[in-house]
Amino acid sequence: MTASRAAFFDALKAAGPSETDSLARITFLARLLDSAFVIPGLNRSIGIDALIGAVPVVGDAVSAALSSYIIWEARQLGIPRWKIARMLGNVAIDTAIGAIPVAGDVFDVFFKANMRNLRIIHDHLGRDGQGRRRGPKVIDGTAVRVETR
């Protein structure tokens, strides 16, 4: 019975969304929240996080919930707990300071917690900024065999 359950869950996992699908969802949401629009004249990007955060109390709660989805997806990808803790810290800082009227809105323009979290995920999965796998690291030089005694 246990072996059949394990096989069932393995089949479910194989049939479910792939790592690429998860990364596409995470990337879309992170960019939407943190850098969807460019402020003309300043050449600074903002996302709907800054716009939603302008609504007192409710806006910051909604923004934190959307950011938490990114963390949930990262956990499903197998990101280690210490990196999840860093991601939670980014969201906590963004939410706490973002809750301060006016100053929090300015802070949201400069502190992009979701893009930071996206970088953590990409670094862990060995991806570049565009979501493509990084190749193996190659070291130029000559190998020398050292004999042991």
Q: pLDDT tens digit string along 53-100?
A: 888 879 989 999 999 999 999 999 999 999 999 999 999 999 999 888
pLDDT band at 9 (very low <50, low <70, confident <90, very high): low
Quote the pLDDT of residue 41: 87
Q: How many domains does the chain divide into?
A: 1
100: in domain: yes
Domain that holds residue 92: 18-125
73, 62 contact by CB (below 8 A) = no
61: in domain: yes
44: in domain: yes
pLDDT band at 128 (very low <50, low <70, confident <90, very high): low
1: in domain: no
Quote the pLDDT of residue 75: 94
Q: How distant is the alpha carbon of residue 33 from its chain centre?
A: 11
**39 DSSP β-pair partners:** 44
Element at 55 (helix H, strand E): none
Quote the pLDDT of residue 17: 65
> What residue type is 128 in one-letter code?
D
Helix (H, G, I), strand (E, B) or coil at 70: helix
84: in domain: yes
78: in domain: yes
Distance CA 29, CA 17 (A): 17
24: in domain: yes
Quote the pLDDT of residue 56: 82
**How distant, in Å, are the alpha carbons of 38, 115, 123, 126 from that of 120?**
24, 9, 5, 10
Average pLDDT, the chain: 85
Quote the pLDDT of residue 139: 62
Q: How distant is the alpha carbon of residue 58 from its chain centre?
A: 23
Distance CA 117, CA 119 (A): 5
145: in domain: no
Helix (H, G, I), strand (E, B) or coil at 16: coil
The sign of the CA dihedral 38, 39, 44, 49 is negative
DSSP code of 134? Answer: P
